[in-house]
Structures are given as C-alpha cells and as structure tokens.
Amino acid sequence: MSSPLSSFLDALAKLPEFNGITFRGLAAGEPLPHAVGVLAGVVSSSRSARVATENFSAARLLVLLNRTGRSIAEFSEHPGEGEVVVRPGTVWRALIEVTVTGTEVPVLVLEELDPSGTTPAPTEWGDTLDELATRVVRLVQQGLATDAVPVAVPGKYVGPWPTQPLPAQSGPAASR
C-alpha cells in the first residue's frame, strides 16, 4: 500500500513540467540555501512575489528558476495564488542576488539544475545573468505595485528551503 505522500508525488509526476520563474519567502531565522543542494521535501512556490512573501513580510525572497516544478493552480482552492509545487530530489544552486528598489527584502535567485540533461531549455529566464536580473527585478517590482493580498494559509509559501548539501563526488570523476 502506498503512503499519501507517495500517492501525491505520483499524481504530481503526471502533470506537465513547469519551466519558469516562481517565488518563495524565506522565514526569519531560516538558514540560507546551500550553494548547491538537493531539496529534501515538497515545497510550494507562487507565480506572485507578493503571495510568496505574504505581502513582502518575509525575511528574504527566493526566486526559483524552475525546470521541473508542477503547476497545481487549476486544482487549488485559491487558484489566484499561482501555486507551483517543487518536488523533492531536485537539485538547486544559488545563482545571484539582486537588489530591488522599493523593498528591503533581500532577493536571492536559485536555479534548478538538470543533472540528467533531459529537461527543455528555460523559456522565462533570459540568455544572460544581466537579462535574468533585469527580469527578476521587473517581476518583483510588479508584485510591489499590486495591492496587498489576503493570506489564505499563513506559512504555505514562507518557510524553510529544506535542502541538503549535494554530496561530494568520489571516485575517478571527482579527480578530473
């Protein structure tokens, strides 16, 4: 018999991959993401920086460059939140930090890596780090320009980024 988590992950796997930018708030006191880490749990993110930070009240804003997230907005009780689920086992690296005029919330961009080399090329990220930074700043500023939103489930999008450091490689490949 499968567990509810296994059933949920199996159902998620059947949805199309989401390849785009989402946001997650990092709660005060939570450690910063590892330089490179493997996600150790299911994490909700939002297409809206305002939703993901509970109206910019989070200690930090994580910008997630997804390759294999799964959008569940159409199944959600609150579809306007633009929820995208990030699955356990995905590998992430801290890419850049940007400053956004209008907020003191630090903004850290994380990239989902593709260890298998099988996911499509990103479509929303831009071709250079400068282009990416410009897009991220614009998206966050768009969120700042919107009205406050009701927080339907406090902590759903603001919390830890539960990653484990990527284990060091051993053997012949590590000595190259």
pLDDT tens for residues 112-142? 999 888 887 787 888 899 999 999 999 999 9
Residue 107: per-residue pLDDT: 98
Residue 169: per-residue pLDDT: 52
Considering only CA atoms, give the Rg of the chain. 16
N-to-C CA span, the chain: 44
Q: 85 in a domain, yes or no? A: yes
Q: 109 in a domain, yes or no? A: yes
CA neighbours closer than 13 Å in the CB half-sphere of residue 175: 2
**Cα 50 to Cα 144: distance, rounded to the nearest angstrom:** 7
Work out how many domains the chain is built from and give that number: 1
Residue 168: per-residue pLDDT: 64
**Cα 25 to Cα 61: distance, rounded to the nearest angstrom:** 5
Residue range 31-43: average pLDDT?
94
Residue 89: per-residue pLDDT: 92
Q: 58 in a domain, yes or no? A: yes
User: Could you give the maximum distance between any two Cα atoms of the chain, in Å?
Assistant: 55
Q: 132 in a domain, yes or no? A: yes
Q: 50 in a domain, yes or no? A: yes
Q: 172 in a domain, yes or no? A: no
Which residue range forms the structural domain that includes residue 83?
18-165
pTM confidence score: 0.89
Q: 9 in a domain, yes or no? A: no
